Amino acid sequence: MQKINKYFLEALKASLNSESVSWTTADVSFEEFSQLYQISNIHNVLSMIFEATFSCEVAQQMPPQFMMMFRRNVIQSIAQQTMKSSEFQVLSDHLRSKGIKPCVVKGIVCRDLYPNPDARVSGDEDVFIPEEQFGKSHKTLTDYGMTLMEPDQDIESIYEVPYVKPGSPLYIELHKHMFPPESEAYGNLNRFFDGIHNRTEKPHKGECGLIEEEINGTKFLTMNHTDNLLYVRLLPSICPWEIMR
């Protein structure tokens, strides 16, 4: 497994630099190459790993049906992610048009850092709103066509509420807080983020609470760079499965 992790990081680095690996059959076995693709698929970066490896000697020597299967997966995942990104852009504009402050966390904002953003698949989009805007946000989302993923949930008592859109791959989690307030271990971390929507002071090198990032012509609200980094650094120690979503 240690070798597979090494290959994974090497291929990921090549993808981030818009490069390809030059592995030969002497470097990587067919079994290791297969394991690499399976792990990449689990971590939602198969498209990136495939792009960096498909032209190397090992890939060229793999059974054609193996490469064709993963190629289909890559095409489908990129197409689906492109659709989700496009729909989320429209939804974000719609929320802002209603006077809501939808702060986008991770997701499309982080994907924009990649050479090919839609090759980095996200399972969902996290939207952080002021708690007092939850009622208005819920109505706006349902009027837009979003439905509760779990209709029987008490949405007033939970800190994040998941929504899906019928007939669409779009899935969002609407956060009133970034961490469960009732948690003895993590609830206190909300002090770093609650109130950020209305923060006017500039504690981080001139950054206010929220900033705008333009992506494909749409202006998204997100946390300033310092608070975004703080959240991403805190998350793996609390929810390790979240960092690769």
* pLDDT tens-digit readout, 187-244: 999 988 988 898 766 666 666 788 999 999 999 999 988 888 888 888 755 554 344 4
Please check whether residue 114 is in contact with residue 195, taking contact to mean a CB–CB distance below 8 angstroms: no
- For residue 204, the cross-strand partners are 207
DSSP letter assigned to residue 204: B
* pLDDT tens-digit readout, 7-39: 999 999 999 999 999 999 988 999 999 999 999
Residue ranges and CATH numbers for the domains of the chain are 2-62 (no CATH), 83-244 (3.30.460.40)
What is the CA 22 to chain-centroid distance, rounded? 29
Indicate left, alpha or beta for 148 from its phi (over 0: left) and psi (-120 to 50: alpha). beta
How much of the chain, in percent, has pLDDT values that exceed 90? 70
Reported pTM = 0.85
The whole-angstrom separation of Cα 101 and Cα 222 is 9
Q: Which of 112, 58, 56 is nearest to 89 (CA)?
A: 112
Which pLDDT value is given to residue 174?
97
DSSP helix/strand/coil, 131: helix
Distances in Å between the Cα of 179 and the Cα atoms of 104, 138, 227, 231 are 15, 19, 14, 10
The whole-angstrom separation of Cα 70 and Cα 245 is 19
Q: DSSP readout, 78-121?
A: HHHHHHHHHHHHHHHHHHHHTT---EEESHHHHHTTSSSGGGS-
- Helix 46-53 vs helix 2-16: crossing angle, to nearest 10: 80
